[in-house]
Amino acid sequence: MHLKSLTLKGFKSFASATTLRFEPGITCVVGPNGSGKSNVLDALSWVMGEQGAKSLRGGKMEDVIFAGAGGRQPLGRAEVTLTIDNNDGALPIEYSEVSITRRIFRDGASEYEINGNSCRLMDIQELLSDSGIGREMHVIVGQGQLGAILESKPEGRRAFIEEAAGVLKHRRRKEKALRKLDAMQANLTRLTDLTAELR
């Protein structure tokens, strides 16, 4: 599995549609200060499901939409598509190439797609996390993050290791199951009350 391309449209400083193509191996992005190198990484973590505006260096999620610059008007939406080569089947989906798209509009509405089909954010997160990449998987190490890991307390460091080891996915599923169990328990209590009343 490797990242094949990343297309940005109206995302941060990328007002016009821009596609970056990657080959297997190491890719370096070079450019002057403020030219948009970090915006490319922001786009990558955003399309993989990042939900924290602060992690994307903004105040609110809509800040990722091109806000106008160099005489160009602000845009109404931002869109990023990541195409992954899945010839080795690392992603649990029956396609040799997988495209993930995320879109956001100025009113805050969001859309997600896998190979052009609408889906939920959760579907993208699950698809990627099963292969060990994606949001919170520490495949993206941001500026200052290494320092944060080294300086964190033992509990914090444990959380980093758990996430990297893929425990996070199971913790999320466990929390979901516990919430369902709680709801089921409430239904059961209600049913017991009703049965007692009917006797």
Interhelix angle for 167-198 vs 121-129, to 10°?
130
Contacts of 29 (CB under 8 A, 6+ apart): 20, 37, 40
Any contact of residue 138 with ligand ATP (CB under 6 A)?
no
Cα within 13 Å of Cα(55), Cβ side: 18
Any contact of residue 35 with ligand ATP (CB under 6 A)?
yes
Binder among 25, 34, 71, 108 for ligand ATP (CB under 6 A):
34
> Shortest approach of ligand ATP to residue 101 CB, angstroms?
19
Binder among 17, 21, 69, 152 for ligand ATP (CB under 6 A):
69
Any contact of residue 18 with ligand ATP (CB under 6 A)?
no
Binder among 5, 38, 55, 99 for ligand ATP (CB under 6 A):
38
Residue 82 and residue 3: Cα distance in Å, rounded?
7
Any contact of residue 12 with ligand ATP (CB under 6 A)?
yes
Name the one range near ligand ATP by CB under 6 A: 66-74, 92-100, 151-159, 171-179. 66-74
Contact 26, 46 (CB under 8 A): no
Bridge partners (DSSP) listed for residue 14: 11
Binder among 3, 61, 67, 121 for ligand ATP (CB under 6 A):
67
Which residue's CB is nearer to ligand ATP, number 67 or number 121?
67
Contact 99, 80 (CB under 8 A): no
